[in-house]
Amino acid sequence: MKPPLNRRGLFVQLVLLALLVRGATAPVDSITLRGVTDAAAMLPQLSPGMLIILTGFDLATAAASDPTGATTTLAGVTVLIDDATGTQTASLLTVTPDQIRAVLPLELAGDEISIHVERDSLRSNVIQSRLLPVVPRLCAGAGGVAQAYHADGAEITPDAPAEPGERVRLALTGMGRVGFLEGDPPYAGIAAVMEGESLPVLATGPWEGRPGISYADFVTTDMLPNGGASITIDSGSEKSQPGIRLPTRHREFFVAPDGSSSGAGTESDPWDLATALAPHPSIQAGDTIWLRGGVYGSGTLIESRLQGEPSRPVILRQFPNERAVIDGGLAIHGGYTWYWGFEVTNSNPLREQNPQGINTYEGSRGVKLINLIIHDTAQGVGFWEGAVDAEINGCLLYHNGYQGSDRGHGHGIYAQNREGTKIIRDNIIFNQFGTGIHVYGTERAAGTGLRILGNAVFNNGSLAAGVSNVDNILLAVGTPMADIVVDDNYTWHQPTLNQGTSRLGWVYGVQNRDLTARNNYWIGGFSAVECWRWDSVTYRGNVSYAPRQFPALLSLDPPPEKSAFSWDRNTYYGAPVFRWNGANLTFAQWRSEAKADANSTHVPGPPRGQWTFIRKNIYEPGRAHVIVYNWDQAPVASFDLSGVLAVGSAFEVRDAQNYFADPVYVGTFRGGSVELPLPAGTVATPLGDVPSPPSHTAPHFYVFVILPK
């Protein structure tokens, strides 16, 4: 089961508890609507019949869904729209406390609409939105890949790409009444634009069984570019969002440990790695380079200057069912290249002499690190400013760093950012000598525009002398941080150690601008989580536990304006000591002094039961991470993989703390819940000199990797 409050809806009990604690001073509940956008591009222009997303606070008291879109009220929630003709209601697909997915009525009229939410007897504020007849928005997945289908209904993917001259069906929203009703505007004049070439849309209309979604059919050009093509829909008055691509056929090259610079790059005559990464003049945007199994290098640094294009990245990927290992480090200088699935480590036992695992330098715009395994290097990833609009997704980073004369050095991810947005999503980061995710710099190194989402980050600092755990997540730079989002992360320090923390901001840092932190799990440490020096903070739906002191530490001196401070709907376990601007307070005092947590709860003991979370990999079907907080030390964990695996799929489960050992479970998915016996747990042995060998977090905490077979 999941903990109360921010996942499954013990909201009512918590409000009652809050009322008992605060008595007659408890505030009247309210609904806050923050914004309304389309569900595909997250832009504010709307059209009739569009699939939309509403975001806010306390929109619902519990999660509910109806995928048919046949209802206008879910869990007591209704979305109302005022247009030129009166008031109408939206069809609802899902409602949660912070988000609603809905479909606007097809009959809306006028140039502007007003939208608000009602829940039981409560009414939200009103959002004004512009209404246009047609605002095409293509549905897309990871990396901006269009949701598109072959004529037989099979999805178009990099492994099943679009072919020249093929009829393709695109999924989109925002087409208004086009193709819906007899007598409505025809689709003549609507075009699919591929790489600047306008191609007529042959048919469009509502997609049966997908509320709010339309289809658009067209025939691809005979001159499809290699590896992917940009695609937009042009209605004549509005165009769909840029950056969406359609997978097309790509050329394949091969690299092997015994390859050569004089090779042809074929499977039978492969290149060596350095030749491919130079790059070889044959490599073009959209190509895939397969790394055959084996070891590359001997502890030294290898440079990559591979260069793709935004809609046609070069992909350097481990060959299926083989294990490719770079022994040394990788320095990335080229852009729009995806590094996927291989291993980076170092065999030199003198850890302080080793290069860092991966560094991203100037020119590495649009780089993605996907499902890599980076361990036993001087540092996992240096995610430097030069890596603009870059992403680290699904990677395992562990046992990185070395013992210095003063402390442990080397972090899982060391990030900085000034331009664009960096994404650190769904990684497993544990047992570094230094911190897990480290955002830190000087006056010349910024930390803005970061998204830290869905990561499992635990026991960092544990390898250094003295077993003095440090930060799982540390955000602290010499220039003001801004546009920081930290959502859905899962941290762990063994609570009985009273060591470590996660710090969102730092006592020694400058005054920062805006932070959003939602639905995180801050478990263990001297203080479970600390928040320092922000002008604007949204901190909601978080769970924290520290058994001795400080389930939360908050320093916002001077206090921010009320409109810039939203700290509520959180759950705290453990010690009754909260720290606000230097003072130790009880929970009641904390609420009063910090003007926070009016609808939150504090449980004086440890958590109980079992919390399980599944993070589906967005790049590889059938792959996922499972996080288990096993408070009662149950022998079995139960979790539902129906959103990850198809019934009948073979799969295996690997313990992230000993990934290359035998799987802890192998089976075939039969639907419903999987019952996984929880192992006693052994941790992989670090390479070289490690003052404090790691120990497994069993039986209290587990992270597993689900892989298809």
pLDDT tens-place string over residues 34-46: 999 999 999 999 9
User: Phi and psi of 152, rounded to 5°?
Assistant: -85, 5
186 confidence band (pLDDT: 50, 70, 90): low
Please give the CATH topology (third level) of the domain spanning 137-246.
Answer: Immunoglobulin-like (2.60.40)
Q: Which residue has the higher pLDDT, 153 or 549?
A: 153
DSSP line for 681-699: ---PPPSS--SS-----TT
Q: What is the pLDDT of residue 353?
A: 85
Is residue 334's pLDDT more than 60?
Answer: yes
Tokens coding 66: 């109806």
**Is the model's pTM score more than 0.85?**
yes
Render pLDDT for 109-152 as a digit per residue (tens, 0 to 9): 999 999 999 999 899 999 999 999 999 999 998 878 999 999 99
Is residue 3's pLDDT more than 80?
Answer: no
* Top-tier CATH class for 31-130: mainly beta
Q: What is the pLDDT of residue 184?
A: 47
Is residue 311's pLDDT more than 90?
Answer: no
Secondary structure (3-state) at 7: coil
Is residue 301's pLDDT more than 70?
Answer: yes
Q: Average pLDDT for residues 480-484, to the nearest whole number? A: 94
Q: What is the pLDDT of residue 467?
A: 66
Q: What is the pLDDT of residue 443?
A: 74
Q: Average pLDDT for residues 198-224, to the nearest whole number? A: 93
Q: What is the chain's mean pLDDT, rounded? A: 91
Nearest to 617 by CA among 317, 389, 370: 370
Query: Does this chain's domain 31-130 share its CATH topology with 610-708?
Result: yes
For 515, how many CA atoms within 13 A lie in the half-sphere containing its CB?
A: 27
Q: What is the pLDDT of residue 20?
A: 30
Is residue 637's pLDDT more than 80?
Answer: yes
374 confidence band (pLDDT: 50, 70, 90): very high
What ranges do the domains of the chain cover? Answer: 31-130, 137-246, 251-349+358-378, 383-605, 610-708
DSSP line for 510-524: --EEEEEEES-EEES
Q: Which residue has the higher pLDDT, 689 or 429?
A: 429
Is residue 28's pLDDT more than 90?
Answer: no
Q: What is the pLDDT of residue 444?
A: 78
Q: What is the pLDDT of residue 13?
A: 35
Is residue 235's pLDDT more than 50?
Answer: yes
For 654, how many CA atoms within 13 A lie in the half-sphere containing its CB?
A: 17
Q: What is the pLDDT of residue 60?
A: 94
Q: What is the pLDDT of residue 680?
A: 93
Is residue 384's pLDDT more than 80?
Answer: yes
Q: What is the pLDDT of residue 44?
A: 95
Q: What is the pLDDT of residue 180?
A: 61
Q: Average pLDDT for residues 89-104, to the nearest whole number? A: 96
- The 10 Å CB-count burial string (b at 16+, else e) for 619-657 is bbbbbbbbbbbbbeeeeebebebeebbeeebebbbbbbb
Is residue 359's pLDDT more than 80?
Answer: yes
Is residue 223's pLDDT more than 60?
Answer: yes
Looking up tokens 């240096």 gives 382
Q: Average pLDDT for residues 592-614, to the nearest whole number? A: 95
Is residue 21's pLDDT more than 70?
Answer: no
Is residue 654's pLDDT more than 60?
Answer: yes
CATH tag, 610-708: 2.60.40
Q: What is the pLDDT of residue 226?
A: 87
Render pLDDT for 42-85 as a digit per residue (tens, 0 to 9): 999 999 999 999 999 899 999 999 999 999 999 999 999 999 99
DSSP line for 612-681: EEEEE-SSSTT-EEEEEEETT--SEEEEE-TTTS-TT-EEEEEEGGGTTS--SEEEE--SSEEEEEPP--
Secondary structure (3-state) at 560: coil
Is residue 15's pLDDT more than 90?
Answer: no
Q: What is the pLDDT of residue 112?
A: 96
